[in-house]
Amino acid sequence: MNRNSRNDENDNDQIVRGFTKITYWEKYGVKRFPYSGRRRYSPCVYQSEDGGIIISNDVFGLTIKQVERTYKECLDRRKAHEQYILNIRYPDKTSTEYMEYLENSRYCQDYLSCTEDDLKERYLYQNLVNTVGTEIDIRKRQQLFIIQDMICNAQAQKTHTHISSGSLAEGLDLPGSDIDIMFVINKVDVIRDLRNMRHPVQCTTLVMETDTDHPGFSRLRLIAIGDGENDILTYEYFESTSKGLCLSVNKFVSKINNMIPQQQISQHGPCLSDKGQNVDIAVCLRSKYLPYNAIPWASRYRQQWPPNSTIDTIKKYGCLLVPIGPRDMSDFNVLWRLSFSVAEKLLVHSFNFTQLLCYCLLKLTLKHIVNTNRHAEGLLCSYFLKTALFWVSEEIDIDTFQLSKLYFCFSLCLDKLKMWVQKCYCPNYFIPEHNMFLGKIGLDNNIILINVLDNIKCDGIDGLIQNICSHNNGMFPLSCLLRTNSNYSSIRLDFLFFKISELCPIDDIFKLLKALMFTETLIKSKYSAFIIDVCKHHHAVISQYAAQLQPKPAITTEMYNIHKHYHRFLQQGIKTDAVSGWLLYASFYYVTGQYNVTLKLTDYVLSKCSSDLVLTYCVNYSEKELKKYRKHVNSTMTLHDKMRIATIRRINYARQSLLIPRELQLEVNKRRMFIPLTVMSHCLRFLCYHHLCDISNRQQALRELCLSVKDKHFVLSNTLSSSLTVLGVCYEIAGDKDTAYQCYDDALQCDAYVCLSAGARKSKLLEM
């Protein structure tokens, strides 16, 4: 190519074979770039005679190097500020877009160099990942609880809102974590100022009055009582004070306790817990406004965290009010604690992976180091540690939270905590004037805690590894660091879903149909295959409930359309697990009088009820259940397929269900009923043979039912009372009144859950 042939300015008007000359930057939209060589002109592009391209003043060889150098510099800058960029691009890290980004990106492959100096930090990181999971695992857990809340609230009554809280809902599935649920009473309007009052008044209205001596608490002064639709708050639950009528904490809690059968719950601070204290339920109120002393939080100076969109969401949501007074004033009855549980969950959801691992490391340090010291045990709680992480995250550059600086970030939180303990002052993240150490850590016990924190800092990363991480004689093999167990991680996620996935059945068919449409929308909008299968499972469960509230079935040709609706919901319902949907089908055929079909279906159900199946909706699972599950599944299977093959669930009859046998209608007259599949299968067989006048097979079915209850085959403590009641009904039908009476009496003695109809049936037998 002749480089000097185009050095004449008249070339601008040159025509080549009828084509006007087009410069490189005109054709491709690229501006002139500086060139330090001997050539005077930028490259130009021409069309050759054969239709090809001729490039004059070619300097591409040099510009490629320039581009490579610029590109590398750009990548280095992007890597240095990666967290800042992600913070802007994905402020909500539970979003579908961020999940898609995680699954498509090269994930944590080069977060540390492979030098010997970094080996301990790599080992600490790997053990944390083995404990809490990868970032994708954590985000799936967060999405799981979000979906659970959305579907629960889509089908729930308007009286309350279901909110998952605690570390599990934040994405950390650590050993010993319980399930925390908040039920927010909806028909109460809590305002910040009288100017916020809505007219006309449609519900009970209270105004928040923050206590100056206790900034983290508020009085709830009555402004107006509602129209009577709300039976939670009436005048009897208020106390007269110098400020006016204020809602009583003790009377509110007593009211809630009276609404729930005492056999099922126990008092646990401001929460109601199940007998095993695996589930904590807090009933609270919501204000759509932040209290006055929390307003400065939204506008105070901070670095890049939290994202502005998260701050705006928190401001829009407001706060919760929990029925518990200050720790140092146990007898003060009209102060309610200001709770920012929803805000804190949103903040944790905006954490990057390093912040999440730092949170996990702080919680493990509390459990395995601080609380193992008998003098320091109980002084700190995980909420204080989370607060320290919030303050540190706000005060430093978000790019500091990189995986290679995990231990450094942990040390910053430890220093913050130590400073608070020295001053005996832990400022609430939203209301710094609220000292959360008040009544718990003071000058009489802070020295003990300071020494423990000093020892943790002095022992360094070696101390953390020794006390928290598993190790092999002090050696950290690279094979251990590089090993990943995606199958184990997937199984952990599955079992978490089994643990929390129960939906409360309701008796409103229109709400159920609305919930079905809502889950169908979710299925279409989600990216993660796991979350999609979660939505599909909930869709199948809701279909089972909807099938029970259709018009009463009958064997007539005119009822064809009704039967068609039944089959549509029942067919969707068989997708929940291995057999529960088929047993509900058997119930349908029993109530329509098709006993032989019912017997065939119960035969199939019992043939599938293998001891290798895992029972869902348990609060605790042993290693034995995990091993059974592993035999049936692998990491390539979807959650939907796993549940169809390897799980079994109890059959849930809604209140006034039309698919429960008429002999058991009393059991669902006032509330829902949970019955083990084996128990219900043998019960249906007994009833079918009874109607077919097959006495021999009826007695055999009764014996098998009795053995199933006695051996507790898929019968848990929370279904034992129902199982005994069903057994008693069958004995009563068979004419054995004494054994039936004993079954009812045993049902009333159960601890976890008591079937209320057992008492009525027992009393009826006494009258005979």
Q: DSSP per residue over 699-733, as a string? A: HHHHHHHHHHHHTTTT--HHHHHHHHHHHHHHHHH
Question: How far apart, in Å, are the Cα atoms of 68 and each of 37, 39, 49?
Answer: 19, 22, 33
Whether 204 and 77 share a structural domain: no
Domain with 276, as residue range(s), is 159-350
Same domain assignment for residues 701 and 556: yes
How do residues 380-420 score in pLDDT, each as one tens digit? 999 999 999 999 999 999 989 988 889 999 999 999 999 99
Using CA atoms, how far apart are residues 728 and 306, in angstroms rounded to an integer? 59
Q: Which of 89, 111, 143 is the last residue of a domain?
A: 89
What band does 115 get if pLDDT is binned at 50, 70 and 90? Answer: very low
Res 265: pLDDT: 59
Which has more confidence, 633 or 700?
A: 700
Look at the block and give the residue holding tokens 């008492």.
759
Work out how many domains the chain is built from and give that number: 3
Higher per-residue pLDDT: 254 or 616: 616
Mean pLDDT of the chain: 82
Confirm whether 634 is domain-assigned: yes
- The lowest-confidence range among 3-12, 53-62, 362-371 is 3-12
Residue 107 and residue 133 in contact, taking contact as beta carbons nearer than 8 Å? no
Most confident of 330-339, 687-696, 750-759: 687-696
Task: Please give the share of the chain, as a percent, with pLDDT higher than 70.
Answer: 81
Cβ 208 vs Cβ 286: under 8 Å = no
Are 95 and 349 a contacting pair, CB within 8 Å?
Answer: no
The verdict on residue 67 lying in a domain is yes
Alpha carbon distance 414, 459 (integer Å) = 13
DSSP secondary structure of 494-529: HHHHHHH------S-HHHHHHHHHHHHHHHHH---H
- The reply to whether 478 falls in a domain is no
The pLDDT-based confidence of 462 (bands split at 50, 70, 90) is confident
Of 438, 431, 386, nearest to 413 by C-alpha is 386
The pLDDT of residue 426 is 94
Do 74 and 212 have their domain in common? no
pLDDT beyond 90 at 760: no
Does the structure show a pLDDT above 90 at 632? no
Whole-number pLDDT of residue 2: 45
Single out the residue in 332, 350, 368 at which a domain terminates: 350
Strand, coil or helix: what is 638?
A: coil
707 lies in the same domain as 559:
yes
246 plus 341 within the same structural domain: yes
Residue 587 is predicted with a pLDDT of 93
Q: How much of the chain is helix, strand and coil, in % rounded to 5?
A: 55, 10, 35
Residue 472 in domain? no
Tell whether 510 is covered by a domain.
Answer: no
* C-beta separation of 218 from 324 below 8 A: no
Indicate whether 442 belongs to any domain: no
Residue 164 and residue 69 share a domain: no
- Average pLDDT value for residue range 350-378: 92
Per the domain annotation, does 593 fall within a domain?
A: yes
Q: Select from 56, 89, 122 the last residue of a domain.
A: 89
Q: What is the pLDDT of residue 17?
A: 45
User: Rounded mean pLDDT of 44-66?
Assistant: 57
Q: What CATH number is attached to the domain comprising 172?
A: 3.30.460.90
Residue 220 pLDDT: 92
Residue 77 and residue 188 in one domain = no
Q: Which two tokens stand for residue 406?
A: 């995990």
Given a cut of 60, whether residue 554 has pLDDT beyond it is no
pLDDT of residue 703: 94
Assess whether pLDDT exceeds 90 at residue 423.
yes
Answer yes or no: do 545 and 644 share one domain.
yes
On whether both 754 and 634 belong to a single domain, the answer is yes
What type of residue is 429?
Answer: Y
What does the alpha-carbon distance between residue 109 and residue 106 come to, in Å, rounded to a whole number? Answer: 7
- How do residues 294-330 score in pLDDT, each as one tens digit? 999 999 999 989 999 999 999 999 999 999 888 766 6
Both 81 and 179 in one domain: the answer is no
Considering the domain architecture, whether residues 51 and 167 belong to the same structural domain is answered as: no
Classify residue 517: in a domain, yes or no. no
pTM of the model: 0.83
Q: Which residue has the tokens 């105070």?
A: 300
CB-hemisphere CA count at 13 Å for 372? 9
Residues 190-219: tens digit of each pLDDT: 988 888 777 777 788 899 998 888 899 999
